Structure 1
């Protein structure tokens, strides 16, 4: 399936993304429910969310869904299948395939090993480590500013 037929995927995919190979079989489940079995394969190039460089995601997603026309239908789950809701008794195959691809992609695209674009810890204004005496001073200062300190002896005065 060409990438240009999948606009939501094309929006997030980077250059280098190949067309996706899709195999679908339209059949019936054990309970005589209409279902789709198949497989989606391809390489999707996304932007790594750590280093902002391209990362290739190898997509290999099996499909096995039962088609239903109302949300409260529990029969597909009882057969061990994922339910796919069809509105207006029509299914647009390219939308179905695109949804399945987007669901198969990782929530956050990232390399296994890479360096972040920026340092993760930027709490200190300088790269100097905090000494132990500075930590003690910070604890003492925060204890003085405790707004609940006035309530400390409240129960004792009754």
Structure 2
């Protein structure tokens, strides 16, 4: 149905009943909740979503992928690292909290509150949920400190002994 330029709003119920397909691209800058990724604002966000009814139970569902490249901070070396973030979408459209409880476990709920829903909200949610827990380089570009040498530890222990002053006071009292 929609290909190329993504719509700002979608009618999920109508799309699911018609077997609609949304595919195309937007940019990270079009998704306000991803504003913290300042070095990724011009990156494309690829979207391929299918709206349909589940063949088994007739539930209206949305499935597909949302993917982009985000520049994050490596948690080892604190340098920028580019991470591919791909969200596998498998949602069931629900209109109330009670319907969420009755959903099969293979679906996550998408609470539809209006006939028209902003597509950006769905894309943001899915990408935020797909972020890696810890962003790291495969091989950090800068050498990381590996710890102190044993000889340095011994000399540092003598020089930085917090009780050295107390030992000298104890010796002067005798």
TM-score by length of 2: 0.59
Aligned to 1:97: 123
Question: Does the alignment pair 1:25 with 2:50?
Answer: yes
How far apart in 2 are the matches of 1:75 and 1:12?
A: 36
**Unpaired segments ≥5 residues, structure 1:** 131-158
CA RMSD of aligned residues (A): 3.2
Q: Specify the SS of the correspondent of 1:49.
A: coil
Kindly provide the CA deviation profile for residues 40-98 of structure 1, in whole angstroms up to 9, marking residues without a partner as x: 122211121222211111123221110112223233225x2122222345532111011
User: What does residue 110 of structure 1 align with?
Assistant: 136
Cα distance in structure 2, aligned partners of 1:15 and 1:83: 28
Off by >6 Å, runs of 4+ in structure 1: 115-118
Contact 1:50/1:115, CA 8 A, preserved across alignment: no
Aligned partners of 1:68 and 1:86 also within 8 Å: yes
Counterpart of 2:64 in structure 1 is 38
Query: TM-score by structure 1 length?
Result: 0.64
1:65 counterpart = 2:91: yes
More strand per residue: 1 or 2? 2
Secondary structure in 2 matching 1:128: helix
Unaligned runs of 5+ in 2: 1-25, 156-174
TM-aligned CA deviation for residue 17 of structure 1: 5.7
Alignment of 1:1-158 (within 5 A): 1-15=26-40, 18-29=43-54, 30-73=56-99, 74-78=101-105, 80-88=106-114, 90-114=116-140, 127-129=152-154
* Distance in 1, Cα, partners of 2:88 & 2:130: 9
Q: CA deviation at 1:105?
A: 0.8
